[in-house]
Structure 1
Amino acid sequence: MKSMQIILVGAMTAATLLGGCANSSNPAASNNTSSLPSTSSSSSSNFIGYGVVEDIETIKVSEDGKNIAGTLIGGTVGGLLGHQVGSGKGQTAATVAGVVGGAVAGHEIEKRSQVASREEYRIRVRLSNGTTHAVTQSSISDIKIGDRVRVDNDRVSRAD
């Protein structure tokens, strides 16, 4: 019984560590300024300038890889179910297989049940000095193409 608990804790620790290794970075999800060919951009968080909106592009941003709850819950349930099978070394093998299989199944179920993506907006602004600056943000409020806007702190807002 004691070795079973050690194996179960070890398998759950491994699943947790592997879940933490998942690449959750998504360049499209960044709210930082995006460079476009023949544009100028600044990664600083300050006033950029005034300009006119040239284009607004809707971007789908994936939410994959951010949560590991499904992996952990699936591994736990799989381990408990696997422990009910056989006896001795066969029971230990069934428990380990249950943890691994449950973790994989739990991760897939969670991934499919999450909202697959959300929308963000890439707004391209022609600044007063003639350069183009692009910003990706989650909301555009009432901004439309042709509006005079202010670019400040990597956010586009209506000019006062």
Structure 2
Amino acid sequence: MAQDPNSGFIAAINAIQTPEPATGIGAVGGAVAGGLLGNQIGQGRGRTIATIAGAIGGGLAGNGIEHEVRRSTTYQVQVRMTDGTYRNFTYPTQPQLAVGERVHVDGDTLNAS
């Protein structure tokens, strides 16, 4: 009996998180908050220095937080084909497939079989 070269089994489904570009909102918000907190410290030149340091530190922290929060998730599905090779397929949302499930490859699409 001939094997279907377009069939296989789901070997793995992995969620892949990638950072999205920062908008700058985190840096601006952090700088404002840091500047306000820094302004509460000291008097005269000390207050000015604390305000500037707070704004810089807050901006850096806000930018870092935004990078951690703004991530997109894609799903990589690895299929072990009947000939023993592996193919990978990427989905923008979690596919309705399970590891071990038999599938048929139709172009760039997987269908449960």
State the TM bucket, normalised to the shorter chain. 0.5 to 0.7
Work out whether 1:99 is the aligned partner of 2:55.
yes
Identity of aligned residues (%): 26
TM-score by length of 2: 0.59
**Is the Cα contact below 8 Å between 1:56 and 1:121 reproduced in 2?**
no
Q: Is the 8 A contact 2:105 2:111 kept in 1?
A: yes
Structure 2 counterpart of 1:147: 103
Residue of structure 2 in register with 1:75 after alignment? 31
Q: Partner of 1:58 in structure 2?
A: 13
1:103, 1:84 → 2: CA distance? Answer: 17
> Judging changes above 3 Å, is the alpha-carbon distance between structure 1 residues 158 and 55 closer, same or farther for their aligned structure 2 residues?
closer
Higher strand share: 2
d(CA) in 2 for partners of 1:109 and 1:132? 37
The AA in structure 2 aligned to 1:133 is R
> Could you give the per-residue CA deviations for residues 35-86 of structure 1, whole angstroms, max 9, x where no partner exists?
xxxxxxxxxxxxxxx7113334222323446434323211112123323442
1:125, CA displacement in angstroms? 5.1
- Go from structure 1 to structure 2 and tell me whether the alpha carbon gap of 1:81 and 1:70 turns closer, same or farther (over 3 Å shift): same
- 2:89 matched to 1:135? yes
Higher relative contact order (CA 8 A, sep 6+): 2
Indicate if the aligned counterparts of 1:53 and 1:126 stay in contact, CA closer than 8 A: yes
- What are the ranges of 5 or more consecutive residues in structure 1 without an aligned counterpart? 1-49
Secondary structure in 1 matching 2:78:
strand
Structure 2: unaligned runs, 5 residues or longer: none
**Coordinate RMSD, CA, aligned:** 3.6
